[in-house]
Each structure stands twice: as structure tokens, then as C-alpha cells.
Structure 1
Amino acid sequence: MQTYLYLLIAVVFETFGSSCLQASQQFTRFWPSVGVIVGFGAAFWFFTLVLKVLPLGVTYALWSGIGMVLIALSGWVLFGQKLDLAATFGIGLIIAGIVVINLFSNSSTH
């Protein structure tokens, strides 16, 4: 369970770093630029802790899937970016894939 907590923390830091990347306006704003470095640095550190237990393919699939969902929500909430029906449907498929991996794959257990 601790492994999945580390994965979630990694994804939250990655979401923070990506949101700061948008807010940095191509690294022209100091504090958001610092947030990019802190966010991605912490995200990758927690990601390495997860890789001690889970295989790379499963870890990356979960990391990127959960991250895409959180980034889409972040873009919508923080930056007013709209999602059309196709994007919403695609995000739903990503969530379904995450559920399938966690419920049915023996690769995701440790």
C-alpha cells in the first residue's frame, strides 16, 4: 500500500510541476519556474521509490494515466482550458485502463 501512496505523491508532484510549467510562461516567471524544478524533482524521486517494487511498464502506465487525468483537471480548474466530448471520453478510457490494471493484472501486485 505504501508503494501506491508513493505513486500518488509522485503524480501529485508531477501535476504541480506541469501546472507550474504552464504558469511559468516559458520560464519567464521566477516562482512558477522554481515550482517546475521542485515539482518534477520530487515527482521523479518518488517515482524511483515505486520502481523498487512495481515493474516499469505498469508503474509508467499508472503514472501517466493518473497524471493525464489530473493535468486535464488542473488545466480546466486553474487555466480555464475546455475539454470537448472526445477529450472527456478519452479521459474516461484512461481511467478505465487504470482500473483494469489494478483489478485484473498480476503485474501490479507486489
Structure 2
Amino acid sequence: MLNAGVLWLALSICSEITGTSFIKKTNNFRKLAPSLLVISAYSICYFALTKAMGYIPVGIAYSLWCGFGIIGVTIFSMVLYKQKPDFPAIISMGLIITGAVIMNMFSQM
């Protein structure tokens, strides 16, 4: 069973990915619906990240949040904006995933 910290962190990461992915659609916050989506997503994101840090060490929670946020936003940008990551970007994201796995498996933090 997943603990509460992991669930809060997953909610935080998902909402961060949503908010960041839709910033471009706000047209510099001139469009109401996407602007409200971005503001709501970031509000949920930081609330959930705060809750996650009550269960997970700050360094681990923040590094996972950043790393998986980068990967998630990249995937969303491929779908929403037809952006295609190049080889160095793919290698870098592989290193992020590897780092997250190593940290979760071996860190005593």
C-alpha cells in the first residue's frame, strides 16, 4: 500500500505538470479558462508538496518533484505542442529517472 507522502507527492507532480504544460495556452494570462487552470493547478501543486514533505524528507521530495516534473512536462509538450526532444534531452531525462531510482533505493536521507 502506498503511504500518504507518496500520494501527496504524486498529486503535486501531476498538478505541476498540468500547470506548467498549460502556461503557453494562457496567452500571457489573457485567456481566462487556461489562466484559471494554471493558477488552480499550481495552488494544488504547492499544497500537496507541502503535505508530502510532512512524510518524505525535503531533499528527496523536492528532487523527485523536479525530476518527474521535467519529464512529465516534456511528454505533455510533445502531445500539446508537437515538440520533439532531441537525443541529448532524452539522455538527460534517462539520467533523471536513474537518479530518482537510485535515490529511492539507496538513500538513507
State if a TM-score over 0.5 links the two structures. yes
Q: Say which of 17, 31, 55 aligns to 2:33.
A: 31
Cα distance in 2 for partners of 1:66, 1:93 equals: 11
Residue 43 of structure 1, CA deviation: 0.4
Give 1:85-104 correspondences, 5 Å limit: 85-104=87-106
Map 1:1-110 → 2, pairs under 5 A: 1-107=3-109
Deviations 1:28-62 (A, max 9, x none): 21111001110000000000101112222111101
> Which 5+ residue runs of structure 1 have no aligned equivalent?
none
TM-score (norm 1): 0.93
- Identity fraction in percent: 31
Runs of 4+ in structure 1 off by over 6 angstroms are: none
Amino acid at match of 1:11: I
Aligned CA-pair RMSD: 0.9
TM-score normalized with structure 2 length:
0.93
How many residues were matched structurally?
107
- Structure 2: give runs of 5+ residues left out of the alignment: none
The more displaced of 17-26 and 66-75 is 17-26
